Amino acid sequence: MKTARKEKKHIPLIIGNWKMNPATLQKALELAVALKKEIPKKGASIISIAVPSLYTISIAPKVKGTRMNLCVQNVHAEEAGAHTGEIALSMLKDAGVSQTIVGHSERRAEGETDAKVRDKAVATLKKGMVAIVCIGERARDKEGDYFTEVENQLRVVLKGLSPSTFARLVIAYEPVWAIGTGKHATPEDVQEMKLFIQKVITDTVGRAAVSKIRILYGGSVNKENAQELLERGKADGFLIGGSSLNATEFASIIKIADTYAQS
Ligand code: PGA
């Protein structure tokens, strides 16, 4: 599964997914301030923090003027109306959010379907925001059926997307078995899956989209494995859970990505 063409390297995108952490706004603000201190002021990679939606209004002023973009971990696809408990994209945008994660496996486990993931991605892109769409197999099997699982998730999302939005679409390949387990996919696994995802993109929406859509890796990324996952795995960046809650560790990964981006 090799491509003959030499691929142009994307500027790495490094996203910290705070999940349902920290427990208080005070602690969240402390983490944002620590990140501001630890992350080099200048660097070649792009950085986002995906914080709990409740914290966005308070964190926005802390990240303003820094390299950090503000991201959330879920959205609702509708503009407004009778959707109890949901948060609209316009509200998030108003709070300073420019990116959304959709279809994280922890949300899919709560019943989020491929169709819902697509609707949320489409709505995000229509708002002029960046959509980070998570896909990934639950388990690996010798027969390679997990490729079909990933392909099906991806095809549903890509169908019907306007080519003008591709540069703001990010695919995060996150094998569920690697999330929060300390067992990351090997660089070879990541590269193979990236090539496969690019093939599905080519088949579904055309070859031109491949150069626009970043393909990140997520699942137990840390400062020890980040370099090889970029260099040999060819990941266009990372979606990072656990290691993003420690400002020093997250900043170390960013420094690795900055150096890689310039190589
Ligand atoms: P992890 O989480 O880095 O803790 O494995 C990744 C994710 O869930 O996005």
210-254 pLDDT tens trace: 999 999 999 999 999 999 999 999 999 999 999 999 999 999 999
Q: Is any ligand 1 atom within 6 A of the Cβ of residue 16? A: no
How is residue 55 written in tokens?
């914290």
Q: Is any ligand 1 atom within 6 A of the Cβ of residue 109? A: no
Q: Name the residue among 142, 159, 160, 139 with its Cα closest to residue 150.
A: 139
Catalytic residues: 104, 174
**CA geometry: angle 26, 31, 36, nearest 5 deg:** 125
The rounded Å distance from CA 202 to ligand 1 centre is 28
Averaged pLDDT score across all residues of the chain: 96
Tell me the residue type at 66: T
Q: Is any ligand 1 atom within 6 A of the Cβ of residue 69? A: no
Amino acid 113: pLDDT = 97
Closest residue to atom 6 of ligand 1, CA basis: 241
The number of the ligand 1 atom at minimal distance from the alpha carbon of 243 is: 3
Closest residue to atom 1 of ligand 1, CA basis: 241
Whether pLDDT at 191 is above 90: yes
How is residue 48 written in tokens?
């986002």
The rounded Å distance from CA 257 to ligand 1 centre is 17
Q: Is any ligand 1 atom within 6 A of the Cβ of residue 174? A: yes
The number of the ligand 1 atom at minimal distance from the alpha carbon of 218 is: 6
Amino acid 215: pLDDT = 98
Q: Could you tell me how many helices (H) and strands (E) the chain has, helices first?
A: 9, 8
Whether pLDDT at 208 is above 70: yes
Whether pLDDT at 73 is above 90: yes
Q: Is any ligand 1 atom within 6 A of the Cβ of residue 105? A: no
Whether pLDDT at 4 is above 50: no
Amino acid 5: pLDDT = 53
What are the φ and ψ backbone dihedral angles of 239, each rounded to 5 degrees? Answer: -110, 115
The rounded Å distance from CA 239 to ligand 1 centre is 7
Q: Above pLDDT 70, what percent of the chain?
A: 97
Among 7-21, 78-92, 101-115, the least confident range: 7-21
Amino acid 160: pLDDT = 75
Whether pLDDT at 44 is above 80: yes
The rounded Å distance from CA 80 to ligand 1 centre is 30
Amino acid 29: pLDDT = 98
Q: How far is CA 112 from CA 14, 94, 236, in A?
A: 24, 25, 26
Whether pLDDT at 2 is above 70: no
Amino acid 7: pLDDT = 63
CA-based R_g, the chain, Å? 17
The rounded Å distance from CA 192 to ligand 1 centre is 20
